[in-house]
Amino acid sequence: MAEEKEMEEVQEKVYPAPQHSHEEVVRERLVFMDSLRRFHSSMATKFMIPVIGGKELDLHLLYVEVTRRGGLAKVIEEKKWREVIAAFKFPPTTTSASFVLRRYYLSLLHHYEQAYYFRTQGPLIPPAASSQTRTPPSKLDHSVVVSDSTMQTPKSRKRCLPEPQNKGPYNFTVTGSIDGKFEYGYMVTVKIGSEILRGVLYHVQQPSAAASSSLAAVVSAAHEASNERCTAAMARTRRRRRRGWRSRDPAHPKPNRSAYNFFFAEKHSKLKVLYPHREREFSKMIGESWNKLNEEERMVYQNYGLKDKERYKREMQEYKERLKLVQPKEMAGAEPSKAASEEVKGVSADGH
């Protein structure tokens, strides 16, 4: 009943109209990421950038490498998945890249590929059977679940799996070995025909939809808490800087700004209006825009910087001249005070 309900919900959904052409999203990474977020938002599906080995997975590179070979189904059919993996330059210890990338492509990019690459309209198209994990369902009942922990080479001694293996509906024999054991299952190597697959065999059953939703909520809450901590730390830093400036002479001239400072301030105000929830990406976006400026465009901001430098020199010269006038007066006011103090001491000593 649950599967039938899920199928009905999928059939009710339709692909949203693409906001950009395939060529645009391939050429511009920022356009791709923005359109991918909007796509998942319109589809009411969860979207989070996966992390592999402590680094965010480059979804743009994954989409480009797969679509340039004709899409996921064609990549798998023509056995070009290894070419896709090679573009990521994973370390030699990575043993489950095929599982990881295919799983993330199916969950995050399959429907996006249908809308932006194939220009599909209407009801959603489920992934082809060849796109799924090719492990026969009658063999690995507990599902091969891939996580970052499988990206390490097991050090435990190998033990053979029970033989012989029964043949499943795909009509080929499966053999394999156990590479390591942990609390909930085994790390295994499985040979299906000429293809060797590595992954994790769990004892526990596949989590229910409610458990998956709960896990996603926990991950989302942790992500938001991390963002709040970063924001609080930045606010504390800004407060410390303001206190430092207050302790200085308020009449001291304001330091001059460089050409890039002027460009940054101008772009930042515009990006804040366009993308109010993406401030952490502003520095990178502004840096890329600055690198794309030609000499004539950059000269405008360099002129701003030169004028501000002249302003700073002029104000500093005036400031130093004011200090020279003020210091003699202060010293003159301090000397009589000192003499008067000595006179008082002398009177006290004589008793007069």
| Tokens describing residue 272 | 């804040």
pLDDT tops 70 at residue 148: no
Per-residue pLDDT for 2 more than 50? no
When pLDDT is averaged across residues 50-60 and rounded to a whole number, the result is 86
Average pLDDT estimate for 299-326 = 88
Instruction: Tell me the DSSP string of 189-249.
Output: EEEETTEEEEEEEESSPPPPHHHHHHHHHHHHHHHHHHHHHHHHHHHHHHHHHHHHHHHS-
Dist. CA 38–CA 63, nearest whole Å: 16
Averaged over 123-141, what is the pLDDT?
59
- Provide the pLDDT for residue 196: 83
Question: Out of 1.10.3720.10, 1.10.287.130, 1.10.150.60, 2.40.110.10, which CATH number does the structure's domain 22-118 have?
Answer: 1.10.150.60
Q: What is the mean pLDDT of residues 305-327?
A: 87
Residues 64 and 90: beta-carbon distance below 8 Å: no
pLDDT band for position 233 (50/70/90)?
confident
Residue 194 tokens read as 């000429």
Three-state secondary-structure class, residue 223: helix
pLDDT of residue 149: 37
Residue-averaged pLDDT of the chain = 75
Q: What pLDDT, on a 0 to 100 scale, did the predictor assign at position 138?
A: 37
Residue 346 main-chain phi, psi, to 5 deg:
-60, -40
Q: Which of 123-137, 154-168, 240-254, 284-298 has the highest mean pLDDT?
A: 284-298
How far from 134 is each of 6, 63, 104, 162, 172, CA to CA, in Å?
23, 21, 15, 20, 11
Provide the token pair at 231: 């924001």
Direct distance between the N- and C-terminal alpha carbons of the chain, in angstroms, rounded to an integer? 111
Residue ranges covered by each domain of the chain: 22-118, 259-326
Side chain identity at residue 73, one-letter code: A
Backbone angles phi, psi at 74, to 5 degrees: -75, -35
Out of 69-73, 78-82, 157-161, 258-262, which region has the weakest mean confidence (pLDDT)? 157-161
DSSP for 140-203, please give it: -TT-B---GGGGS---SPPEEPPSPPPP-TT---EEEEEEEEETTEEEEEEEETTEEEEEEEES
| Residue 183 CB coordination number (10 Å) | 6
Tell me, what's the pLDDT at 116? 93
Write down the pLDDT at residue 227.
73
